[in-house]
Amino acid sequence: MFSTFPEDARWNEALSAVDFGVEIVEYAGVVRVPRRVFQGLLAERPTSEKCVEDYYLHRTRLERIVERKLRHRQLTDDGNLEISGQDLRRGGSRSATSTHRD
């Protein structure tokens, strides 16, 4: 599965989340990472600017989670994706040398 992630991360004020795009074959969608997920990565309640900054710091990890969720067709009701704190704890930090398969 080959996914592309455009350089379009942005803060979504209405949902208090970082949104970024994902494209794979004929699918194009939006990935949402709520502020509470970034709060789990930081010691304090992050600002919107800090959330976008942390998206870039953790981008590879978040993209791996997105690819796993796409493989398992774990889409939201609107056909997009949302990353939860549980997703981060469950496997986004596996090393590249891991032999575990989803």
For residue 102, name the pLDDT band (cuts at 50, 70, 90).
very low
Each residue of 42-80: pLDDT tens digit?
878 899 999 999 999 999 999 999 999 999 999 999 999
Cβ proximity of 101 and 53 under 8 Å: no
Each residue of 6-40: pLDDT tens digit?
888 999 999 999 999 999 888 899 999 999 999 88
> How many C-beta atoms lie closer than 10 Å to residue 88's C-beta?
19
| Domain topology for 10-91 | Double Stranded RNA Binding Domain (3.30.160)
Task: Please report the pLDDT score of residue 91 as a whole number.
Answer: 63
Task: Please report the pLDDT score of residue 29 as a whole number.
Answer: 93
Task: Please report the pLDDT score of residue 101 as a whole number.
Answer: 39
The DSSP bridge pattern shows strands 81-82 and 10-12 to be unpaired
3-state helix, strand, coil in the chain (%, to 5): 35, 20, 40
Domain extent listing, the chain: 10-91
Residues in contact with 85: Cβ distance below 8 Å, sequence separation at least 6, in sequence order: 36, 37, 40
Model pTM?
A: 0.81
